Amino acid sequence: MTTLVVLFNLKTTADQAAYEHWAKTTDLPVAGALPSVDEFRLLKAQSLLMSDNKPPYQYIELIRVNDMAQFGQDVSTAAMQKVAAEFQQFADSPLFILTEQVGG
């Protein structure tokens, strides 16, 4: 199974409360309900372990995808294109990393 990891900061013009409200009411329910998605979690970075430095990213999305071909079809729908466009209004140069689990 593939896990899509998305790392991003908000744009300086984006309101954090507005983003988190949108994520809870739109992004998580819509993208999380896609047939190709088994689980969708949004994490907010708090700190770096044993460091006073600021985390390099404010938010991390973990999207467990059960079928990448289906995922490609799912994200090309009009509803998901709208969600993606809205996400791009909040996120500053997000990184989309495809991963696979190593070991059991």
d(CA 18, CA 33): 22
pTM of the model: 0.94
pLDDT over 90 at 1, yes or no: no
Average pLDDT, the chain: 97
Domain spans of the chain, in order of start:
2-100
Q: Predicted confidence band at 45 (pLDDT cuts at 50, 70, 90)?
A: very high
Contact 68, 38 (CB under 8 A): no
Give the whole-number percent of the chain exceeding pLDDT 90. Answer: 97
Q: Is 50 left (phi over 0), alpha (psi -120 to 50) or beta?
A: left
Structure confidence at residue 104 (pLDDT): 72
pLDDT, one tens digit per residue, over 52-89 is 999 999 999 999 999 999 999 999 999 999 999 999 99
Q: What is the mean pLDDT of residues 13-28?
A: 98
pLDDT over 90 at 102, yes or no: yes
pLDDT over 90 at 38, yes or no: yes
Question: Looking at the domain 2-100, which fold is it?
Answer: Alpha-Beta Plaits (3.30.70)
Contact 6, 97 (CB under 8 A): yes
Q: Which residues contact 87 (CB under 8 A, 6 or more apart)?
A: 27, 94
